[in-house]
Amino acid sequence: MVYFDNAATTWPKPEAVYQAVDYCMRKQGANPGRSGHHMALAAGQIIMEARDLIAKLFNIPEPSQVIFTLNATEALNLGIKGLLKPGDHVITSSLEHNAVARPLETLRSQGIEVSKLSTSVSNGVQPAQVEAAIKENTKLVIINHASNVTGAINPIREIGEVTRARNLLFLVDSAQTAGSFPIDVQAMGIDLLAFAGHKGLMGPQGVGGLYLRKDLRLTPLKEGGTGTNSESLFQPETSPERYESGTLNTPGIAGLASGIKFILQEGIERIKEKERILTERLLKGLEAIPGVSVYGPSLGIERAPVISFNIEGMEPSEVSFILDQSFEIASRPGLHCAPDAHESIGTLSKQGTVRFSLGYFNTIGEVDFCLEAIAGIAEESKF
């Protein structure tokens, strides 16, 4: 299979990731932080090492500021619902994933004021837009680092300068960039960073996390056992225990740690450059095929390795089905859990787009094979 669905979940993973998960299950499969025997201590060490690696990757001051969640969606919900109260105002964009849009819509009905900034398909949200949208009751700005539909990159560092100067909190969704683009929470002025373990960080599904600035305190999404302060009927006050009730996904976190080790060994810039070369080759080829409409930043503008397109006269699901069944090319059709983004690019009424998303293990040969397949499908469609 030619796998072009890395924005959903990267595949394949580095071999060491499979080995780490298997070894954890077989040799370190006890409950971390819950017992004093050597296997439980080994499981706890896995969690500690993973926090250290994440802190190193994102330049987080202290590993205790890394909170593990099931995925980026849970991390975003924790940040959004843990911070906002009735009367607060939040600023976001028109290219956000439903992991942001849906919680905000729920909170809107509970007295939270939401401003969605109209976003450039090519250049994302501009700092001046954020500045202009600030009100007296503005508390939080939530922006993705890159759109999962168009690949458009937002100027996070510059937006962070605005939020820092205006004493606002800044939550960044890094689901499409963590592991492929450099992220420095201190230099970029990021107060909360949500990340997915199973995408660019090359870990397994079922693990993600949230970086939380040290002086911030959230209302937890859930309460329960934490392995500490068990005598109290209230949640611990300290991070990360306050936000990590229940048994953590130790095998998943072991795999995530291994994925991050691979990224640190290869180097972010090397990963980013390879994905850039592949993406530009695919984009250039798609733009040259008659009947194909491509959405998002034009060639030469920095973007995440995500490309959305349609073939005239064909529904996205039909194109994706043919790619899978006739060419063994994996893509993703539809709205990609981001209807606001599709409304912004004019594809909501078209049932979305076909999305190709590239990863570090894809090749130029796969890109060229895919372009041949799309050219053939477009020719057959008789647009």
For position 173, which CATH number holds? Answer: 3.40.640.10
Q: Domain range for residue 375?
A: 267-381
Q: How many domains does the chain have?
A: 2
Rounded to an integer, what distance in angstroms lies between the CA atom of residue 30 and that of residue 43? 6
**Average of per-residue pLDDT values in the chain:** 95
With respect to residue 58, please indicate whether it lies within any of the assigned structural domains.
yes
How confident is the model over 116-140, as pLDDT tens digits? Answer: 999 888 889 999 999 999 999 999 9
Rounded to an integer, what distance in angstroms lies between the CA atom of residue 218 and that of residue 245? 14
**Do 302 and 244 fall into the same domain?**
no
**Do 224 and 259 fall into the same domain?**
yes
pLDDT at residue 234 in the model: 83
**Do 169 and 189 fall into the same domain?**
yes
With respect to residue 362, please indicate whether it lies within any of the assigned structural domains.
yes
How confident is the model over 226-272, as pLDDT tens digits? Answer: 877 788 888 888 889 999 998 999 999 999 999 999 999 999 999 99
Q: Which of 231, 266, 301 is the last residue of a domain?
A: 266
**Do 215 and 285 fall into the same domain?**
no
pLDDT at residue 237 in the model: 85
For position 286, which CATH number holds? Answer: 3.90.1150.10
Ranges 297-301, 340-344, 369-373, most confident: 369-373
**Do 156 and 262 fall into the same domain?**
yes
Q: Which of 211, 236, 266 is the last residue of a domain?
A: 266
Q: Which of 266, 288, 314 is the last residue of a domain?
A: 266
With respect to residue 8, please indicate whether it lies within any of the assigned structural domains.
no
pLDDT at residue 383 in the model: 52
Rounded to an integer, what distance in angstroms lies between the CA atom of residue 132 and that of residue 149? 26
117-148 as b/e, with b when 16 or more CB fall inside 10 Å? bebbbeebbbbebbeebbeeebbbbbbbbbbb
> In sequence order, which ranges of the chain are alpha helices (DSSP H)?
15-27, 38-58, 72-83, 98-108, 127-133, 156-165, 250-266, 268-287, 316-327, 339-345, 364-381
Angle between helices 364-381 and 268-287 (to 10 degrees): 20
**Do 329 and 206 fall into the same domain?**
no
With respect to residue 372, please indicate whether it lies within any of the assigned structural domains.
yes
- Give percent of the chain above pLDDT 70: 99
How confident is the model over 153-202, as pLDDT tens digits? Answer: 999 999 999 999 999 999 999 999 999 999 999 999 999 999 999 999 99
pLDDT at residue 334 in the model: 95
**Do 78 and 123 fall into the same domain?**
yes
pLDDT at residue 177 in the model: 98
pLDDT at residue 281 greater than cutoff 60: yes
With respect to residue 101, please indicate whether it lies within any of the assigned structural domains.
yes
**Do 125 and 77 fall into the same domain?**
yes
**Do 283 and 249 fall into the same domain?**
no
8 Å CB contact between 65 and 239 = yes
**Do 258 and 321 fall into the same domain?**
no
Lowest mean pLDDT among 14-28, 84-98, 218-232, 275-289: 218-232
**Do 116 and 126 fall into the same domain?**
yes
**Do 81 and 159 fall into the same domain?**
yes
Confidence of residue 380 (pLDDT cuts 50, 70, 90): confident
Q: Where are the beta strands (DSSP E) in 132-235?
A: 138-144, 169-173, 192-196, 208-212
